[in-house]
Each structure stands twice: as structure tokens, then as C-alpha cells.
């Protein structure tokens, strides 16, 4: 790489027979360039083994410029959209990015973090709901110290912060606030019997949403009813199966459903339809996340700033942002410094009917 | 890593106070294990810095066991689902996998392939539709030789094969066959005026689908009408915009739509609805890919074996499969060896109405 770094953009321009500005435009990829011109430049870059400055650090032997994001699965839109935000910001900062998936397996997560530490990734961004227990805190604390020792930064995204003194940065979103708002939206439309579909005791994401749901009910003087809190994993199949079971057990004792996320909502809507119940005429429903199925289902939901979560994680890792003061955000289990919380908001579509005389 | 490799699974079992079989079960991640037991094992693995055999190669200094998949974007379900197949098969083969995204930028692709070559990835899998021109063939040929020289294998997935003698493996799917079948499905339901929405001249994926569409029309004696072939990029927004423009230009001159993929179909359906046209009562529509929006839209479409494409790419790369003879498949531009083609099939849902007296 040392030799190739001596090649300059001027050499490339000369070889391609175009101006330096044109080379810059082609490499930047932001302006329209004629295909023939683009090809000439790309060929010259290859022939001279030219490394554009923006990528030079990422390509150096120690590879300090790579930013890695570790998620359960890219087939889940929540993860894919955050990963996309990470990659866009990384590209803008001249870094290459890698996505690694664990399939939810702690052993694979451990292998991946070790590999990234060995490769001296500039930052490792861990995303997603977890069961916060002593084992989890211990594991994350160890990752943070091991990565810091190798010159890498650990960023937790959508996960609760660790204790004081642990070298980890945290970016989250107002999970509880979004759940509160969307429940209040159903209450304002006259609904009093609201089924929460997606209970997962111990999982941070669902726990925060249930907390927002219960708080909104309490504020409106509606007693919480354990019979209206139903367990379901956060995917389409689980939402479908849980709603089918509920409907098979007897006529619905609810007029509205708050699904733990949009995938759960999609499954629940399918089960409602198969049972001859129309949305929103017979049953109202809201979701959470605002990922693709929501638009096609005309589903009222809570918008998560996926792209901004990914971008913020990169900016935090590169020291472009200063995280808030200790205990700043409404993240569960907060109480440590270095937390940045992004807002959520409702997207109103057509899946909620107003009840009552109006 | 040398020291830690001397730690055996027996040491871990002893430290955790469980049997070797239990450690194996926890590390395999395939059987249910009590959380408390799992935690004990994971803690022992960490404390002893134990590297499970399956991951040992991937974690060695030369890192030959990492399998990389390079796609445009993980926010596009087509790519995300293939990447998921790659990762599942890689995990099953005891390899770690990495996903890299280019954002469709040739410069970033080049940087990524260089990085992977430097890191001696065991295989590099490139996925997705391309414009096949001389520049493309030259670039891929160079990648193939450079990776082969570093001991890596190049696998092209859903892309046409390169020339004879280029060390690249190819796995594709029967793109044209699926388009032929779904067009024939519309023709059998009595449709004669079928709009193809998603023309992208020069792009391999769309070109193959248009070829299948035209072949099916010809077989049914329906003349091809250039006015019924409409350009659109392969995303939701493009499908929406193209259908809006078409409807604004005058009453629909077609009874059915073949959308280039399911995202284009989702956008087109939204535009049809906003124009007061119902699916399938007024206009029938089919898509391609069978990705998540298809189910929620009750859309008849062509199922792509995403998962199997990803898995096959890994199996090919690791020499577990022998590719077919030269010119075996219906991939466009075929004519070289080492091509493996997977089948596609229609998934019939509720978006097509039967026309005529029946």
C-alpha cells in the first residue's frame, strides 16, 4: 500500500485523459458523470492502484478505519435500516463498514467481537434488544475494556447503558415515550380495552414499551388488566399465532391492539382477517417501528429514527458528538454517563377507528 | 491465539462445572439450554479465552475462514435475504461471515474487494443486478484473478458468468423462466393488455424479466406493444411515480400489470388506489421476488430462492458442490463453465382477477 499511496489524483487524471475535477467527481460518486468517462477513470485508478484519500486510512495495514455493526439478522428491517444509517455515515466519513450477524447467538457474538478486536476495527456498534442480567453486563463490560485496549470504541445502540467508568458510548431512542404516545392515541379515540401483544419479560425493548402502555392507561384512569397483556416474540409468525390463539379462546374482549412492533402487527392483522374481523372497522391496531409493512398495511405506528440511530452511533464513535450528562435520557436502567437519546413520534395512518357517539 | 488454542473443551467443562456435552450444546447454539447453565459456560469460555474448534480457523491470524458477501444495500429485502442465507450456511460450516455494502458505488466496491483480499477472506460473494459492459467484465475478471492470487474465491450471485478461464464461480436463478411463468399466468386469466413496469435497458435482472414477458406474449399470439413497457427503477418510489404518471396521461390501456419486483408492485398498488382503482377488481397485478410486502399485499409473485442462493454460494465457494457443465443454465450471457442455476416458481395469491365470461 505504501507504493500505491504515492500515486496522486493528478496521475490518475493524466492517465485517464480527464481533469482532476472529473476524477474527484467519479470517485466521490455524487455527481452524474458520463459512463464512458467514468470507465476511463475507474480503469486508470485500477491500473495505477490508486487509493483515494478518503479510503486510504481504511485500507492501511492496521485498518483502523473500518466501522463494524453487529446485529442479530439483516433480514429484520429494524436492524437493516440502522445498519444502512451506519454505512451511509461511515462512507461520508471516509470509512469502510462491515456488518456482522450473530443470529442471536452469544457464542457467535463473542467470536465476532474477538475478530474485530484483532483486526483493530475503529469502532464496534452493537445493536438490539437484550435481556439485561449480570451475565450481559459482565460480557459487555469485558468487550468495552478489550476493545478500548485495542484502540477500538464500543457503541451500544438501542441498548441500556453500562455502569460508570465502562468505556462504552450509548445511543438510544425514546422507547417508552413512543409507547405512551401511541397508547394515548388509542385512548383518545375512545378505546379502553387495549390488548398489548408482545410481552417478553426481561427484554429491554418490550419492557420499555409495556411501561409506556401502562403509564398511559394509568393517566387515563384505565386499570391495567393482566389478561390484556399477551406474550409474543417480535416477529410476524409470533404475532399471527398469538392472535389466532386469543381469538380461538373466545370473542375478543378488546377493541384495539397495540402490537409490540410492526411485524407482530402484520401477523395479527392476518389472523384477524382470517377470523372475519376487519381493521379498523371491527378492531383497531397500532404497531411500533415504522418499517416497510406499516405503509402497505396502512398501519398507525411509532416512527423510530433508524437512519439517525445508525448515523449517530458512527458520529459518537468518531468523537463528532458529545453525549449528554449522566442519567439524561429515559432509557431503562439508565444512571451512567455518555447516553444520547433520540426522539420517536407517531405516524397516523388508517388503522384506528374512533369509538363512541362522535 | 496460540496459547488459547491449547485450552480444550474439557477445561471449559471443568471450570463451568458442567459436562463436555453441555459445553458443546451451548457453543453449538442448537439445543435449548437453561439460561443459568449457558451463562456458566459462556463465562468459563471467556475466562479461559477458549476458542471453539468450529471458529478456530476463522480466528487465526491469517483469518482464512471469513466469508464476505458484498451487496448494494441491506435495506433492500432481496439482498438482506440472500445475505441471511450466506450467514446461516457460513455459521453451519464454522465460518464467520461479513456483509459489506457498496451503495451501488463502483469505487466503494473496489475498496471493499481490496480490503477483503488483504484480509485473505476465504470467499467473496458479489450479489446483484449489473449493467454488463466491457468495463464490468474487465473489473470482475481482475477481481477474480486478484482474489485467486490471495487464495480467495470469487462467487458471483445472480450475475451473469464471466469468460472461460476466469476463476469465478456463478450461482443464479431462472429469472427469465419465472417472468415467463407469471406472464403466462396473467394470459391464462384472460389478460391481453399487460403493462410491464420496470424497464431498465442494460440491467441484467430487468432485461431477463422483459425477455420472459415477451416470450410468453409471443407464445400466446399477443403482439408486444412498446407502449406497454414502462421504465422504472426497482424500488417502491419508482413504481409509485411511474404508475402515477401513466394514470395521469389517460385512462388505463391495460387490464394487468407485471411489476419488475414486489417493491415496484407495492408502489404501483398505492398509485392505483389513490386513483380509485381497486386490485384485483379493476386492475390485476403481479410482482417478482416474493419478499415481505408481497404477503401483506396479497400479491401473486415469483418466488426467488433467496436463502438457497446464499447457501449455495457458500457451498460452491467451499467446494461442497460441483457446478454444472458449460452453458448449462438460462442465465443471460451464459457460455462459460461453472454456473449453477436454481429454479423459481409462482406463488398465487389474490391480486389477479380472471377476465371474460366465466
- pLDDT, averaged per 10 consecutive residues of chain B (358 residues), comes to 56 84 64 71 77 45 70 95 96 92 89 87 91 88 91 92 88 96 98 97 93 98 96 96 97 97 97 97 98 94 97 94 55 53 96 84
Contact list in A for residue B105 (CB cut-off 8 A) is 29, 91
d(CA B249, CA B229): 15
The grid coordinates listed for A235 are 416477529
- Beta-carbon count within 10 A of B93 CB: 19
Say yes or no for a CB contact (<8 Å) between B96 and A88: no
Kindly list the residues from chain A whose CB atom is less than 8 angstroms away from the CB atom of residue B297.
Answer: 296
| Nearest chain A Cα distance for residue B59, angstroms | 6
- pLDDT score at A3: 38
Is residue B280 reached through a cis peptide bond, with omega within 30 degrees of 0 on the bond before it?
yes
* In chain B, residues 211-270 whose CB comes closer than 8 Å to chain A: 266, 269-270
Q: By the CB < 8 Å criterion, does A167 face chain B?
A: no
Tell me the torsion sign for CA atoms A77, A81, A82, A84: positive
Closest partner residue to A107 (CB to CB) among B29, B115, B297 is B29
**Helix/strand/coil for B159:** coil
DSSP H or E stretch at residue B211: helix B204-219
DSSP A356: S
Q: What is the DSSP string of B72-110?
A: S-TTSHHHHHHHHHHHHHHHHTT--EEEEE-TT-HHHHH
How close does chain A come to B3, measured CA to CA in Å?
Answer: 15
Residue of B nearest to A100 (CA): B98
How confident is the model at residue A201, as a pLDDT? 92
DSSP three-state, residue B225: coil
Q: Is A32 on the interface with B (CB under 8 A)?
A: no
- Catalogue all structural domains in chain A, each as residue range(s) with its CATH number: 2-51 (1.10.260.40), 67-174+308-342 (3.40.50.2300), 176-304 (3.40.50.2300)
The whole-angstrom separation of Cα A261 and Cα A344 is 14
Helix (H) or strand (E) holding B70: strand B67-71
User: CA A29 to CA B324: how far, in whole Å?
Assistant: 38
- Which residues 124-153 on chain A approach chain B with CB closer than 8 angstroms? 131, 133, 135, 138-139, 142
Q: Which residues of chain A have pLDDT under 50?
A: 1-5, 29-30, 53-64, 326-337, 358
The grid cell for B265 is: 408492485
CB B167 within 8 A of CB B161: no
Sheet holding A256-259, edge to edge: A229-231, A194-199, A256-259, A284-286
CB contact under 8 A, B107 and A27: yes
Say what the ipTM of the complex is: 0.78
Least Cα separation, residue B29 to chain A (angstroms)? 7
| Chain A residue numbers touching B108 (CB-CB < 8 A) | 29, 91, 96
Check: CB of residue A99 under 8 Å from CB of residue A72: no
Closest chain B residue to A23 measured between Cα atoms?
A: B107
Contact list, B140 vs chain A (CB under 8 Å): none
A4 touches A47 (CB < 8 A): no
Contact: B107, A45; criterion CB under 8 Å: yes
What is the crossing angle of helices B175-188 and B204-219, to 10°?
40
* Nearest-5° Cα angle at B8, B5 to B13: 140
Inspect the interface and report whether the beta carbons of B107 and A292 lie closer than 8 Å.
no
List, edge to edge, every strand of the sheet that includes B229-231. B229-231, B194-199, B256-259, B284-286
B279 interface with A at CB cutoff 8 Å: no
Interface contact flag, A29 B139, Cβ < 8 Å: no
Q: What pLDDT, on a 0 to 100 scale, did the predictor assign at position A164? A: 82
Residue A199, classified by CB atoms within 10 Å of its CB into exposed (0-12), middle (13-18) or buried (19+), is middle
What is the C-alpha separation between A310 and A303, in angstroms, rounded? 15
Please tell me the distance from the alpha carbon of residue B240 to that of residue B270, in angstroms, as a whole number. 7
Ordered DSSP codes for B255-311: SEEEESSHHHHHHHHHHHHHTT--TTTT-EEE-SB--THHHHTT-BEEEP-HHHHHH
Contacts of A98 in chain B (CB under 8 A): 98-100
Rounded to the nearest angstrom, the minimum Cα separation between A110 and chain B is 9
Contacts of A122 in chain B (CB under 8 A): none
- The residues, ordered by sequence, that sit 6+ positions from B51 with a Cβ below 8 Å of its Cβ are B1, B4, B5, B7, B59
Binary contact (A26, B107; C-beta < 8 A) = yes
A153, A289 Cβ separation under 8 angstroms = no
The pLDDT score that the predictor gives to residue A77 is 94
List the single residue in B58, B100, B114 with the smallest CB-CB distance to A115.
Answer: B58
* Interface contact A349, partner B, CB < 8 A: no
Q: Which residues of A touch B29 (CB under 8 A)?
A: 103, 105-108
The nearest alpha carbon in chain A to B110 belongs to A46
DSSP code string of A60-96: STT-TT-EEEEES-TTSHHHHHHHHHHHHHHHHTT--
Which cell numbers hold the place of A246? 386469543
B291 touches chain A (CB under 8 A): no
Residue A42 burial (10 A CB sphere; 0-12, 13-18, 19+) = buried
pLDDT at residue number B123: 96
In the block, cell 451503495 appears at: B103
Amino acid at each position: 500500500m505504501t507504493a500505491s499511496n504515492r500515486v496522486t489524483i493528478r496521475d490518475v487524471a493524466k492517465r485517464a485523459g480527464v481533469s482532476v475535477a472529473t476524477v474527484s467527481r467519479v470517485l466521490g460518486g455524487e455527481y452524474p458523470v458520463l459512463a464512458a468517462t467514468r470507465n476511463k477513470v475507474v480503469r486508470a485508478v485500477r491500473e495505477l492502484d490508486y487509493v483515494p484519500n478518503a479510503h486510504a486510512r481504511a485500507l492501511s495495514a492496521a485498518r483502523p478505519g473500518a466501522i463494524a455493526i453487529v446485529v442479530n439478522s439483516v433480514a429484520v428491517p429494524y436492524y437493516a435500516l440502522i445498519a444502512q444509517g451506519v454505512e451511509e455515515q461511515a462512507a461520508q466519513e471516509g470509512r469502510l463498514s462491515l456488518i456482522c450477524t450473530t443470529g442471536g447467538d452469544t457464542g457467535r457474538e463473542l467470536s465476532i467481537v474477538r475478530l474485530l478486536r484483532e483486526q483493530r476495527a475503529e469502532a464496534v456498534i452493537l445493536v438490539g434488544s437484550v435481556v439485561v442480567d449480570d451475565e450481559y453486563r459482565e460480557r459487555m463490560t469485558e468487550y468495552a475494556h478489550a476493545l478500548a485496549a485495542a484502540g477500538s470504541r464500543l457503541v451500544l445502540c438501542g441498548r441500556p447503558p453500562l455502569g460508570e467508568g465502562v468505556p462504552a458510548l450509548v445511543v438510544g431512542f425514546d422507547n417508552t415515550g413512543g409507547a405512551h404516545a401511541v397508547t394515548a392515541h388509542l385512548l383518545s379515540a375512545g378505546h379502553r380495552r387495549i390488548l398489548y401483544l408482545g410481552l417478553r419479560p426481561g427484554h429491554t425493548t418490550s419492557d420499555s414499551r409495556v411501561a409506556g402502555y401502562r403509564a398511559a392507561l394509568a393517566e387515563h384512569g384505565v386499570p391495567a388488566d393482566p389478561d390484556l397483556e399477551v406474550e409474543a416474540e417480535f416477529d410476524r409468525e409470533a404475532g399471527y399465532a398469538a392472535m389466532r390463539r386469543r381469538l380461538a379462546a373466545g370473542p375478543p374482549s378488546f377493541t384495539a391492539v397495540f402490537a409490540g412492533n410492526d411485524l407482530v402487527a402484520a401477523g395479527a392483522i392476518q389472523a384477524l382477517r382470517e377470523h372475519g374481523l376487519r381493521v379498523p372497522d371491527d378492531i383497531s391496531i397500532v404497531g411500533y417501528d415504522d418499517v416497510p409493512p406499516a405503509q402497505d398495511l396502512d398501519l398507525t405506528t411509532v416512527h423510530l429514527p433508524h437512519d439517525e440511530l445508525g448515523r449517530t452511533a458512527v458520529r459518537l464513535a468518531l468523537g463528532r458528538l458529545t453525549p449528554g450528562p449522566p442519567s439524561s435520557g429515559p432509557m431503562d436502567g439508565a444512571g451512567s454517563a455518555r447516553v444520547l437519546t433520540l426522539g420517536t413520534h407517531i405516524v397516523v395512518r388508517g388503522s384506528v377507528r374512533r369509538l363512541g357517539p362522535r
